[in-house]
Structure formats: C-alpha cells, structure tokens
C-alpha cells in the first residue's frame, strides 16, 4: 500500500525497494517499482533523493550502518511504538511524511500463472499451517488442520495444502485424509499466490500466505492466537479473522508471552468454530444473488402475514419480484398508511393469493397482526416485515421441515437472519441461530427471559397456525410484540423442540432509516411488560424461581440504564406493583404513562403477580392475606 501511495503522490518518481530476497518475489516485475535489491547486496548512496526506513529495517541498518551514516540525503526512520496499531499504518507514515494525504491503498502481490491442480467441478479450499521455523512462533500454529481437511472434504471441497520446504519435509501422507492434495514446497511465492487466487476459500495461521490471500482477494479465514490482529491482520476486503474469546489473548508484547506454555488460544479453538465461519460465508454467497433474481415458486399450505405502514413502493416491488416467498399466499395489513401510499398499495387489490386489509387508524404492529387472524386459513403461517425478504432455497426440503411442526417441534426458524445494506448492496450475518438447534422450547424461553434478548429467534420463523394465532399480543405492544407471542408459544410447549432450517432464508433491510435508535421510557416499559410475560411462563414451568425473576429483571434494567437511562426506576415501580405495594393506576401515574392505562395488559402480568404474592406469603409463613 505504501508503494502505491508514494507513486500516487509522485507518479514520475523512481522507487527502488530493498528487502530480503524471498520477500522481494512479491513485487518483482511490478510496474510501480523501478528496481528491487536484496538488502545484503545493496549499497546505499547519494544518488537517491531520500531514504525511507520502515519499522522492519533494523537488519538493513546494522548491515550498512557506516554507509548510511555517511549519506548526505534525508533519512526518515519509523519506529514501532504501539502494538495495537496496524503495521501498514507505520509504513504509510513514510508516504505521509513526504505529503501523501489519502486513505490506505489496496495491497499487492505478484502472481505467476501455473497449471491449477484442481478439478473444475468442486470448490477448492487451501490450508496453510505455516510460520517461522523457530520455537517461539510455533504458538501461531493451529493444531487441527487434519480434522478440518477431513470435514471440508466431506462437505464436498477439494482440499490442498500450501507451505514451504519446512512444511513439505514434515508432511506425512498417511496422517491426512484420503483426497488431500499436497502442494507444499513445490511453488514459488508468486506461483503460490496464483493458486490461492484460484481457490474458493483459504484458511491459514497468522503468516505470509495469509497476507497473500488477502492481497489477491480470495475469501480468507485467518486464525489468530497469541499474536495481535490489530497489528497483523492481513489487508484485503475478504479477510475474516477468527479468534477465541479468552481474557489472556492476545499476549504478544505482554509478560504472558514469555510464560505461557499451553497456548489455549489456539488449542481450544475448535474445528466446529472454523466450519461455522465457513458456513456463514457460503450462506452469504448463496443469498447475495437471490435479490437480483425473480422467483415464482409457491409454498402450498403457508401464508405470509405482512403488516405495513408507508412502505408501499418497496413492498410491491418485493412482491412482484417474488422476494417474499415467491407466489406464496400473502395477507397484507395496511396500518393506516398515508393516502398516497395507500393508493399505491391498491395495485395489489384483487391479485390472486394476495389479501389486503386496510385499517382506519394507525394502531401498531400488534393490532395489525391480530387483524390478520380471520384471513389466515392455511396450516402454517410466517410473519414478515414490509421491507424484508424471505426465500426458500430447497422447496422439497422445506416442506419436510414444515411437517416437523406436526410432531415434536413447535418452531421452525431460519439458521441465519441476513442483513442487507441497500446503500452499499452488501450482505452480512445478522444472527446465526445454530446454537439453538434441537433445544427444547423451555430452554429458549429461559434464555429470552434471562438475557432480555431473542438472538434472532423471533425472526424468520414458521409456525402452526392453530398454535401461534391465539398467542398474538395485545395492542399495548407497539414494540416487543414478537417477544410476547414467542413467550406464549414456548411457554405452552416447553417440552417441544426448535428446528433450525437450512432451506429458509430471511433477509432484513438494514440502513439508517429502518433501525430505530429512539428507545424512550414508554418503549422500555413495554419491553419490560413483554419480559414479564416471559417471566410468568418461566415461573409457571419451574424454569426459574421467584427470586430469579426479580433478580433478572433488575439485571436487565441495569444494562438498559447504562444505554438509555429510565430503566431502573421503571423496574423499581414494576416490582412494587408485582408485590402489591402500589396499584396499577399508581404505577402508570408514577411513570407518567397514564395514556397507557386504558389499554388492557396481558393476563400473564396479573398471573405473575399472583404467583409472586403466593411465593412471598409462603416464604413468610403466611397462608392468607397478601403482605404489603
């Protein structure tokens, strides 16, 4: 990047590069470089206008100290001072010193074409277990490449191993799974770079080949253990750094580096973790093309309920292009959009398999969902946002997955919730729900209450209509409505399981105008009402005891207080109400929420209050009248 920066600043300059012989292969023949020299043979002289010394120039300085001291030209030397600053920024400082003011340019690596030893029919994964051949750097090596290779071959990848002569000399074919392709010690650096550029994915340690992968643009998964990714992360737009979240890492440039011998930061990083990162990349690859295609399939027996308010153009565009489950039946509830938006929406009137219901007042998502109840006549139902997209990748498989809801499963949910940024036309993983695979509904309910979060499990779901429609929330829930009906569904089916679908894809449109950042006291109060519904079913099913209910309410309030304020006071008043120290009217009045008092609260709040009062009475040895 620094070479690019200098040539951009001084396009007519002649730039000579001095380095170690092996490393210079990376830039040999590059038209931005005039000449390159092995540092052992280079002779510093006054023919240059300036000498720029990087943070890694100490060996060069030591070798040529007398000649450098005798030079009569400017000499600029960068020193390494902050271990959390990326090395490329130190190098770029040299260009900045002579006037460069732009961003960090892209990396570069020379590639030399060679015959690619892979078949065209299968994706290619290259693995690189490389590092310097010295004892202290062995901690960079991740120890499970053999197991990863076996798993990738089973997934359908062609797997090749790249590395230098040291790795080639230590290779034993019998130690590796059948089908492994040994490429180690056979290619130059530019040839290796060419092979990496032709691979679908690359997995490697914090070492040279990983930086090559970043430079040539291959999707790269780089494993960092003890070393600092803030300083050493490979540059490039397709680099995914994988680390283990333990408090002692990274220990590079700390005292722990010299004393650590077990290297848990790499030994405890599982093959499953690496595969999850790879699966996420595959999901993004599969999904990124869906938005630009038209879809005409229909999922029989399924309805999509879509509440909408003032997003008619986007909704109609998504429906016409089949971005919401193709031609599957849809029930659209217009929550009193503006007249112009409503007129646009009327283009869907009388369309086959589309029902539009118009509301005369804007009453929120919860009320809109309730209004869909008479119109959902299919066995299964899903709920979608008016700016979101839903796809099925494999119709037959999805049908089999839906049928599981007739037996031991209560919820079918997409493995991923994807985020789509319309400004940048990019996709990312919003949620991965793999950890909830086959868990019982009671476990998910307990997770929701204890964390106050849903981890995406309320998004991208398919339900049995007869089970979910009676759980739809009261109109007070203008937010957190999904948390309420999920709590009711899970709480009434605690022994059933959650199925993670590999066929269902849910994509959220995420941008500045679609995510609310205003979380005022009203929304916080309503969110805690939803949490009380969760708490009631947790207490009723003996998932959490009474003391745990109050404890987790306060823990959630403490977290929200730090972010938004208001929360601790709200929970204090809620707890007073739950233990009959204030009335419902006093609760609303004290929190300045009188406008909510006319709305009916969920019955679970009263039921939770009764259970807690019974617990309090029992714990105090009182059998009748509730305590003040």
Count of beta carbons in the 10 Å neighbourhood of residue 316: 16
Residues 6 or more apart in contact with residue 595 via CB below 8 angstroms: none
| Rounded mean pLDDT, 280-294 | 78
Contact 541, 494 (CB under 8 A): yes
226-274 pLDDT per residue, tens: 999 999 999 998 999 999 999 999 999 999 999 998 899 999 999 999 9
Looking at the predicted structure, is the pLDDT value of residue 512 above 60?
no
SS (H, E, C) 245-261: CCCCCCCCCCCHHHHCC
| Confidence label for 376 from pLDDT (cuts 50, 70 and 90) | very high
What does the alpha-carbon distance between residue 14 and residue 596 come to, in Å, rounded to a whole number?
Answer: 74
Contact 27, 7 (CB under 8 A): no
Give the tens place of pLDDT for each residue, 90-99: 999 999 999 9
What is the percent of the chain where pLDDT is above 90? 80
From CA 253, how far away is CA 236, in angstroms rounded?
25
Please give the sequence-ordered ranges of beta strands (E in DSSP) within 20-119, or none if there are none: 35-38, 51-53, 75-77
Which candidate, 220, 206, 204, 209, places its Cα nearest to that of 187?
209
- Asked if pLDDT for residue 503 goes beyond 70, the answer is yes
pLDDT digits (tens, 9 = 90+) for 160-209: 999 999 899 999 999 999 999 999 999 999 999 999 999 999 999 999 99
| Residue 517 pLDDT grade (very low, low, confident, very high; cuts 50, 70, 90) | low
Give pLDDT tens digits for 528-585. 999 999 999 999 999 999 999 999 999 999 999 998 888 999 999 999 999 999 998 8
Biggest CA–CA distance in the chain, Å, is 100
The pLDDT value recorded for residue 515 is 47
Q: Residue 121: what pLDDT?
A: 78
**Chain centroid offset of residue 160 CA:** 28
**DSSP-derived secondary structure for 464-477:** EHHHHGGGPPPTT-
Q: What are all long-range contacts of 571-575, with beta carbons under 8 Å and residues at least 24 apart? A: 571/528, 574/528, 574/532, 575/550
Stated pTM of the model: 0.74
pLDDT above 60 (res 628)? no
What confidence tens digit (pLDDT) does each residue in 10-22 have? Answer: 999 999 999 999 8
**Residue 184 and residue 163 in contact, taking contact as beta carbons nearer than 8 Å:** yes
Please name the residues in contact with 61: beta carbons below 8 A apart, sequence gap of 6 or more.
Answer: 53, 68, 77
Quick one: tokens of 368?
A: 């809109």
- Mean pLDDT within 338-348: 91
pLDDT at 519 over 60: yes
User: Which 8-state DSSP code applies to residue 139?
Assistant: G
Q: What is the pLDDT of residue 623?
A: 45
User: Closest Cα to residue 127, out of 60, 205, 47, 52?
Assistant: 205
Give the per-residue pLDDT at 621.
57
Task: Note the pLDDT tens digit of each residue in 40-72.
Answer: 999 999 999 999 999 999 999 999 999 999 999
Instruction: Compute, in degrees rounded to 10, the torsion defined by CA atoms 286, 289, 290, 296.
Output: -110
Count CB neighbours of 516 within 10 A.
8
Contact between 88 and 230 under an 8 Å Cβ cutoff? The reply is no
pLDDT computed for residue 626 by the predictor:
45
**Structure tokens given for 577:** 């109400």
Q: Which residue has the tokens 């290796």?
A: 192
Q: Do the beta carbons of residue 413 and residue 422 sit within 8 Å?
A: no
Res. 149: pLDDT tops 60: yes
Residues in CB range of 38: below 8 A, 6 or more apart: 18, 19, 20, 21, 24
Altogether, the residues listed in the chain come to a count of 628
Q: What share of the chain is helix, strand, coil (3-state, %, to 5)?
A: 40, 15, 45
Interval 402-425 mean pLDDT: 92
DSSP 324: B
pLDDT tens readout for residues 385-412: 999 999 999 999 999 999 999 889 999 9
List, in order, residues 6 or more apart from 124 with CB less than 8 Å away: 118, 157, 158, 159, 160, 198, 199, 200, 201
Residue 292 has pLDDT above 80, yes or no: no
Pairing of strands 416-421, 426-432: antiparallel
Average pLDDT, the chain: 92
């Amino acid at each position: 990047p620094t070479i690019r920066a200098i040539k951009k600043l001084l396009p007519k300059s002649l730039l000579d590069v001095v380095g170690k012989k092996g490393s210079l292969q990376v830039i040999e023949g590059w038209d931005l470089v005039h000449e390159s020299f092995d540092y052992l043979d280079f002779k510093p002289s006054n023919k240059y206008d300036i000498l720029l010394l990087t943070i890694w120039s100490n060996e060069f300085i030591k070798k040529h100290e007398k000649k450098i001291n005798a030079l009569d030209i400017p000499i600029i030397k960068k020193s390494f001072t902050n271990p959390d600053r990326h090395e490329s920024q130190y190098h770029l400082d040299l260009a900045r010193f002579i006037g460069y003011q732009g961003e960090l340019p892209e990396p570069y690596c020379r590639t030399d074409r060679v015959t690619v030893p892979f078949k065209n029919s299968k994706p290619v994964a290259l693995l690189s277990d490389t590092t310097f051949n010295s004892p202290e750097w062995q901690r960079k090596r991740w120890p499970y490449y053999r197991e990863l290779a076996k798993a990738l071959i089973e997934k359908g990848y062609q797997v090749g191993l790249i590395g230098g002569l040291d790795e080639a000399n230590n290779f034993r074919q019998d130690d590796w799974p059948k089908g492994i392709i040994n490429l180690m010690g056979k290619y130059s650096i530019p040839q290796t770079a060419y092979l990496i550029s032709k691979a679908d994915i690359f997995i490697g340690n914090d070492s040279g080949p990983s930086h090559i992968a970043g430079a040539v643009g291959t999707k790269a998964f780089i494993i960092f253990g003890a070393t600092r990714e803030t300083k050493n992360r490979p540059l490039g737009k397709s680099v995914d750094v994988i680390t283990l979240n333990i408090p002692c890492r990274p220990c590079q440039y700390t005292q722990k580096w010299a004393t650590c011998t077990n290297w848990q930061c790499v030994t405890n990083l599982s093959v499953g973790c690496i595969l999850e990162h790879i699966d996420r990349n595959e999901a993004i690859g599969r999904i990124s093309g869906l938005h630009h295609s038209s879809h005409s399939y229909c999922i029989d027996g399924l309805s999509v309920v879509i509440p909408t308010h003032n997003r008619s153009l986007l909704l109609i565009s998504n429906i016409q292009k089949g971005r919401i489950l193709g031609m599957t039946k849809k029930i659209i509830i217009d929550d009193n959009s503006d007249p112009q938006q409503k007129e646009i929406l009327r283009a869907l009137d009388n369309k086959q398999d589309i029902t539009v219901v118009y509301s005369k007042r804007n009453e929120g998502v919860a009320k809109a969902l309730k209004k869909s109840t008479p119109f959902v006549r299919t066995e299964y139902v899903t709920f979608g946002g008016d700016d979101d997209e839903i796809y099925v990748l494999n119709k037959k498989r999805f049908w089999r997955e839906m049928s599981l809801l007739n037996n031991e499963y209560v919820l079918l949910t997409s493995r991923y919730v994807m985020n789509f940024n319309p400004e940048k036309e990019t996709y990312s993983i919003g949620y991965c729900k793999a950890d909830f695979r086959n868990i019982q509904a009671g476990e998910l309910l307990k997770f929701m209450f204890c964390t106050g979060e849903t981890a995406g499990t309320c998004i991208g779901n398919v339900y049995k209509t007869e089970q979910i429609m009676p759980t739809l929330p009261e109109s007070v829930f203008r937010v957190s409505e999904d948390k309420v009906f999920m709590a009711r569904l899970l709480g009434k089916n605690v022994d059933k399981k959650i199925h993670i679908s590999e066929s269902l894809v849910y994509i959220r449109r995420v941008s500045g105008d679609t995510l609310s950042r205003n979380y005022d006291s009203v929304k916080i109060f309503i969110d805690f009402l939803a949490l009380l519904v969760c708490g009631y079913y947790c207490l009723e099913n003996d998932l959490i005891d009474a003391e745990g209910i109050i404890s987790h309410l306060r823990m959630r309030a403490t977290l929200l207080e730090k972010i938004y304020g208001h929360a601790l006071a709200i929970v204090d008043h809620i707890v007073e109400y739950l233990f009959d120290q204030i009335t419902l009217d006093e609760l609303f009045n004290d929190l300045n929420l009188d406008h909510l008092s006319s709305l009916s609260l969920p019955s679970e709040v009263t039921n939770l209050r009764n259970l807690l009062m019974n617990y309090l009475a029992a714990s105090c040895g009182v059998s009748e009248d509730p305590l003040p």
